[in-house]
Structure 1
Amino acid sequence: MFWTIIFPILMAWGLGMAFTGNSDLPTSIALIESQHTTNNTFQEFLESASTQTNEEGNTFFAKKLDNEELGASTFHFYPTDSAGAVQMLKQGKSQLTLKEKPDSLIYIFDPHNSEAKLAYLVLNAGIENKQTRHTMAEIRPLTTVGTRYIDFLVPGLLALGVMNSFLWGISYALIDMRVKKLMRRLVATPMKKSHFLISHFFARISLAFVEAFILIGFSKYFFDIKLEGSWVAFFLIFLAGNLAFTGIGVLISSRTSNSRVGTGLINVISLPMTILSGIFFSYHNFPDSIVKIIELLPLTILADNIRSVFIEGAGVVQVLPGTIILTSLGLVLFTIGLRIFKWY
C-alpha cells in the first residue's frame, strides 16, 4: 500500500513543489550591478520590483513576471560582486548570473543546465516586453571549472554512493544473513556482536574509498574536475559520512528478519534523501520552510561538505562541523543498533 499509493503521492508532491513553476517558489538571480550605468531600461525594470530582506539579512529585489506561454515566475535579484556571484553558483543558491553593463545585459549560465536556460528565457522575455526600449542582451556560457553543472553533480554522486553502499551493503547483507539462518552459526562462536558489525564497516569502507577514487579519476579525465580544497578535509568528511550511514545501516538491520521489510525500510530512508538532498538539483528549489529540514538530513550534510571541498576550496576547519555531526550521528545510531541487535 505504501509503495504503490502513498510513496508516489509523496514524490509527486515533493518534486511538484520544486519544478512546477509555482510563483511562490522564486528563482534566485545573482545580480552584478554597474556603478556607472546608462542602462535606463533595466533600472526602470528594477524600480518596479519590491525590495525585501531574507532570513539571513540579505537584501534582494523581488519581481513577478507573467508570460502567456511560460506562465508566471517570480525572480529574486541578489546584488553582489563577481566573487559573490560565483559563490552563489557553486553553492547551488543561483543558477544564473545577470551582469549589468552600461548599454547591455549579460546572462551568465551553464548551457547544459535546463533550469538556467528556462530562467534566462523567461527573464529576458520579461525585460524586453516590459520596457519601451530594447535592451541589448549577451549570453556568456559558464566554462570555468567549479561553476558548471557537472562540478555540482559529481560531489553529490560521491555522497550518494556512500549512502547506497552502506545501506545496501550492510543493512541488506545483515538482513539476508538472518533470513538465511546464517547468523545462527555465529551464536555458538566466541565472536562479539560489536566485532561482527565493525568487520562489515571495514569491509564496506575499503570498497567505498575505491569506488570514490574511481569516480574522481573518471571525472578528472573526462571533465577536468579538480579538488580545490584540502585532501585531508575530503578524507575527514568522507570518513564521517561512512560512519553516519554505518550507524543508520546497523540500526535498520538490528531486528529485521524479513527481506521485504528490510528492503522497504532501506528505500523509505534512502529514496527521499536521494530526491531532496541536492544530489541532482539544488534543494533551494524547495520552499524555505522545507529547506531548513532538508539541510538537517545526513545525505545533505555530506553532499554539501564534499561539494564545498571540491568547488569552494574548503579546508579542515570548514568541514569540521559537518564531520562532528555525521560522526556523532553514526556512533549514536551504531550504539543503539548494537544494543538491540539480534542474531536470529
Structure 2
Amino acid sequence: MSFKRLWAMFHARNIEFFRDWSALGWNFFFPFLIVAGFGMVFGGNDYTEYKVGVFPSQYEIIHSERTDLPLRFAETRYIRFIGFKSYENGIEKLKHHKIDFLVKAGSPSHEYWVSDSSPKGYIIEKIFKSSLLPDIKNIAEKKEIKGNEIRYIDWLFPGILAMNMMFSALWGVGYVVVRYRKMGVLKRLNATPLTAFEYLSSQVLSRIFILLFTLGVVWFGCDLVFHFKVAGSYFDLFIIFFTGGICLSAYGLVIAARGFSEEFTSGVVNFISWPMMFLSEVWFSLEGSPHWIKLIAKLFPLTHMLSAARKVMNDGATLSDVSPELAVLIFMTLLSIVAGAALFSWNK
C-alpha cells in the first residue's frame, strides 16, 4: 500500500467536499434546524412530558391559576394543562392518545377519565389522587370511557406505514433521478423519443407500485402479531394510502427537477422528511403545541394522510368523512406535478 496514493485520494476527496458549498452547508445547517425545531415544538426549557385535558375551559393552553383544580395537582411540574370547551372534545383526544388524562374542572367529586392502556395516564392518575390527600373528603371519581378504547399501537401503526412511504417516495424518486442525471443517464434518455412527461410518469407509477406492495406486506406481517382493529373499510384505507403515496412521489419529482449534486439532494430530502415526520404526528401528538406549529404541520401531505387514515382505522369514518383531507392531498399532488414538470431538465 502506498501512503502517497492514499494521501492523494484523501486530500482530493476533502477538497471536493469543501468546494461543494451546498453539501457543506447542509452538514452545519441541518442539525441546527433539528435542534431548533424540537426546542420550538416542546417549548425549550418548558418541556412537558404529560398532557392533562381540562374541561370546560375557554383557554386552549391554561395556567395553574386558571384550572380550578386541586392546588397541589395544578402546581405539579412537567404537566401541561390543555383546555377543552366540552367533554366530547376532550374525550376524543383522550381516546386517540393525544392527551394522557382528562379531568372536569370545578367538580366536587373530582371526576376524571384515563385510558387504562396508557402508561402516562397511570402515572398522572397516581399523582392526581395523591394531590387530594390527606383530606379524606377529597375522593376522586373515575369515570368510564364510553366507546371502544383505542390501543396506542393502533394509533401508532398508520404513522409507521406513512413514514415508511414518505422516505421511500422522496428517496426513491427525488434522489434516484438526481443520481441518474449526474451519471449522464438522463442525457442519454433525452436522445430517445422518450418525453419528460413519460419518464416522470413511469417513475411515479413504479414508486406507487413499490409503496403499496411493501405496505401490504408490512401490514399483513404486523397484523399477524398485533391483530390491528380496523373500524372502517380496507378499501377506504387503500384509497387514502394510494392518494398519499402519489402526493409524496410528486414531492419527489419537485426535488428531482433540477438537482445535480447527490449531497445537496440528500440534504433537501432530509430537510423535507424530518420536519414532516416530527410535525405530522407520526410518533406523538402536537396537542398543546403552539398554534403556529400546528399551522405549519398542515402544509405537509403526511399530516393529512395520517389524519384520514386514523379516522378510518380507529373511528370507522368513510371516504366522505375524510374528503377534506383527500382534497388537500389531490391539490398538493397537482401543484407538485405541475411544478416538477415545469422545472424538469434532462441535463442540469
TM-score by shorter chain over 0.5: yes
Cα distance change of structure 1 residues 246 and 136 upon mapping to structure 2, 3 Å threshold = closer
Cα gap change, 1:84/1:52 in structure 2, threshold over 3 Å: closer, same or farther? closer
State the partner residue of 1:204: 207
The 2-side partners of 1:153 and 1:20 are apart by: 25
Identity %: 25
Of 94, 106, 109, the residue aligned with 2:99 is 94
- What are the superposed Cα offsets for residues 159-213 of structure 1, whole Å, 9 maximum, x if unpaired? 2122111101101110111111111210110011111111111111111112222
The aligned counterpart of 1:173 is: 176
Q: How much does 1:243 deviate? A: 1.9
Q: Which amino acid aligns with 2:226?
A: F
2:77 to 67, 71, 76: 71
- Partners of 1:107 and 1:139 within 8 A in 2: yes
Shift of the 317–25 alpha-carbon distance from structure 1 to 2, 3 Å rule, reads: same
Which of 51, 55, 59 does residue 27 from structure 1 map onto?
51
Q: Which segment is superposed worse, 216-225 or 319-328?
A: 216-225
Aligned pairs for 1:304-319 (under 5 A) are 304-319=307-322
Quote how far apart the aligned CAs of 1:11 are: 2.7
The equivalences for 1:50-199 within 5 A come to: 52-54=57-59, 62=67, 71=77, 73-76=79-82, 78=84, 87-98=92-103, 108-111=114-117, 113-114=119-120, 116-128=121-133, 131=135, 133=137, 135=139, 147-199=150-202
Q: Distance in 2 between matches of 1:212 and 1:128?
A: 51
Tell me the matched-pair count. 315
Q: Deviations over 1:231-281 (max 9, x none)?
A: 332222212211211221001111011100110110000011111110000
TM-score normalised to the size of structure 2?
Answer: 0.77
Task: State how far apart, in whole Å, the 2-side matches of 1:218 and 1:70 are.
Answer: 43
Q: Secondary structure at the match of 1:109?
A: coil
8 Å Cα contact 1:18/1:25 also seen in 2: no
The structure 2 residue matched to 1:14, chosen from 37, 55, 64, is 37
State the match for 1:34 in structure 2. none
Range with greater deviation from structure 2 (257-266 or 213-222): 213-222
**Matched AA of 2:33:** L
Q: CA deviation at 1:149?
A: 1.0
Please tell me whether residue 322 in structure 1 is matched to residue 345 in structure 2: no
Partner residue in 1 for 2:15? none
Are positions 1:332 and 2:338 aligned together? no
Q: Please report how far the alpha carbon of residue 139 of structure 1 lies from its aligned counterpart in structure 2 after TM superposition.
A: 10
* Distance across 2 between alignment mates of 1:222 and 1:331: 38
CA distance in 1, matches of 2:191, 2:25: 39
Counterparts in 2 of 1:220 and 1:63: CA distance versus 1, 3 Å = farther
**Which structure shows the higher strand fraction?**
1
- Is the contact made by 2:304 and 2:325 (CA closer than 8 Å) also made in structure 1? yes
Q: Which moved more, 1:61-70 or 1:88-97?
A: 61-70
Matched residue, 2:304: 301
Name the CA shift for 1:67/1:322 in 2 (closer, same or farther; >3 Å). Answer: closer
Q: CA deviation at 1:132?
A: 6.2
Q: Which has the larger radius of gyration?
A: 2
Query: Structure 1 120/289 Cα, relative in aligned 2: closer, same or farther at 3 Å?
Result: farther
Alignment counterpart, residue 271 of structure 2, candidates 268, 277, 281: 268
Contact 2:58 2:83 in 1 (8 A): no
Name the amino acid aligned to 1:253. A
Matching residue of 2:13: none
Given that 2:67 and 2:74 are in contact with CA atoms closer than 8 Å, whether structure 1 keeps it comes out as no
Name whichever of 247-256 and 22-31 sits farther off.
22-31
